[in-house]
Copies of this chain bind each other. A is one copy, B any other.
Amino acid sequence: MKSYSEMSKEELMQEKQSLEQAYADYQKMDLSLNMARGKPAPAQLDLANDLLTAVSADELVDEISGLDTRNYGGLDGIPEAKELIASMVDAKADQVIVFGNSSLNTMYDQVARGMLTGYCGETPWCKLPEVKWICPVPGYDRHFAVTEHFGIRMINVPMSEDGPDMDMVEELVKDPAVKGMWNVPKYSNPQGYVYSEEVTRRIANLKPAAKDFRVFWDNAYCVHHLYAEDEKRGHLLNILDLCEKAGNPDLVFEFVSTSKVSYAGGGIAGIVTSENNKKDILASMTVQTIGYDKVNQLRHARFFDNGALVDQHMMKHASILRPKFELVEDKFSKNLAGLGVGSWTKPLGGYFVTYTTLPGCATRTIQLAKEAGVVMTGAGAPFPYHKDPEDSTIRVSPSYPSLEELGQALDVFAVCVKLAAVEKLLA
């Protein structure tokens, strides 16, 4: 089939008619499919069944510290769980604070600390006339929701396959009102890109005007590979080591989570950062709580043998996720390649694929899909203030549906992409 751009108006009209027929047929099927949320499938959650019994009544003491995990104490997390979190990002256990079940909550709290208490003795941001934040786009909607909630002005910086546009970032951090930057550096949400060595090095070597500027390094998909082979895996440099070497030891808060390793609703989260930052965080944490759920920390440490079993476990996830990502690639290639109706990413890990439509077609595509029973993440969601300047980015989340449902959803989606494109070209 030839590209839509090469078609005559008549050919496009004909194509539109045939797409409308296909679309109408789908509508009649009364489908209820969902490619909107990055949720693990039930089969993935089943992989952690033994987590429930990973500690028994006579094993409730942390082996390293001797702490009874059932009682109060252990503000910064139990040592065994620090080992687990550290192992996931090639860090040292003493760089880790372990939190509760939500790394999003940990990030929210960390921005809230900047707002209310200030980092390392700097002025709390709520006392400043304006606070700005660097937001690589497209990015993670819930990151942007946090900074928006606190009234922080978000500045878009475009992403490429290598990461954010570092020329722009280096320029932006000269402004002392710029206090932070969101990142999902590995298998980025929503593209699945991995920050290149050069980009990572340039981030570690930033010289921000604000002493309390921090890089929020949400390494949410650090161990979430789709393949076992090393050459089919994304590789990210250790940002904390690079910051240390660059004389920038306090620049980064790295966030780690087991939400998509064990249970999305009952995992553990951690911050990995410098001694200085840790002290600063703990100084307000000690007011906030007596400690997070240490029994669940212990459960995780034991189930994953302090980290030794994580990769093996993630390969079980991969065996469930890989066919879904391959189906996306397969369906997009068969249904959409060569038509000039957009492009898509081919991640080696993570939870998302980005489909980029013709400019101005994302909202319409998503609306068409919805009216045919296929729910996609809302148009604009991967952008600050929900504004996609090109109206072309669609986040595709293949993890939750079964293979059969996913195949059907992708077929419907392809028709919607094409129909929206034809409509646009004929407009």
A residues contacting B by CB (< 8 A) are: 37, 39-40, 42, 45-46, 48-49, 52-53, 55-57, 60, 68-74, 100-102, 104-105, 108-109, 112, 115-117, 124, 126-127, 142, 145-146, 149-150, 259, 263-266, 284, 287-296
CB proximity of A54 to chain B, nearest CB, Å: 10
From A126, which residue of chain B is reached at the shortest CB distance?
B126
In the complex, 19 of the A-B residue pairs with CB atoms within 8 angstroms, ordered by the A residue number, are: A39-B71, A45-B70, A45-B71, A46-B57, A48-B70, A52-B53, A71-B264, A72-B259, A72-B264, A72-B265, A101-B292, A104-B288, A105-B288, A112-B112, A115-B116, A115-B126, A116-B150, A146-B288, A265-B290
Among A70, A264, A296, the one with the most B-chain Cβ atoms within 10 Å of its Cβ is A70
- For A124, the chain B residues whose CB sits under 8 A away are 126
- State the CA gap A284–B149 with chains docked (Å): 8
CB proximity of A62 to chain B, nearest CB, Å: 11
- State the CA gap A351–B109 with chains docked (Å): 30
- For A284, the chain B residues whose CB sits under 8 A away are 149
Decide if A289 touches B52 in the complex (CB within 8 Å). Answer: no
CB proximity of A212 to chain B, nearest CB, Å: 17
Decide if A288 touches B108 in the complex (CB within 8 Å). Answer: yes
Given A39-B71, A40-B71, A46-B57, verify A265-B294 contact (CB < 8 Å). yes
- State the CA gap A203–B266 with chains docked (Å): 38
- State the CA gap A127–B53 with chains docked (Å): 49
CB-CB nearest 9 A-B residue pairs: A266-B295, A49-B57, A105-B289, A101-B293, A126-B126, A70-B263, A45-B70, A149-B287, A108-B288
Given A56-B52, A71-B40, A72-B39, verify A266-B294 contact (CB < 8 Å). yes
Decide if B112 touches A287 in the complex (CB within 8 Å). Answer: no
Decide if B73 touches A290 in the complex (CB within 8 Å). Answer: no
- For A49, the chain B residues whose CB sits under 8 A away are 57
- State the CA gap A146–B60 with chains docked (Å): 30
Decide if B104 touches A290 in the complex (CB within 8 Å). Answer: yes
CB proximity of A11 to chain B, nearest CB, Å: 45
CB proximity of A179 to chain B, nearest CB, Å: 15
Given A101-B292, A263-B70, verify A287-B116 contact (CB < 8 Å). no
- For A52, the chain B residues whose CB sits under 8 A away are 53, 55-57, 295
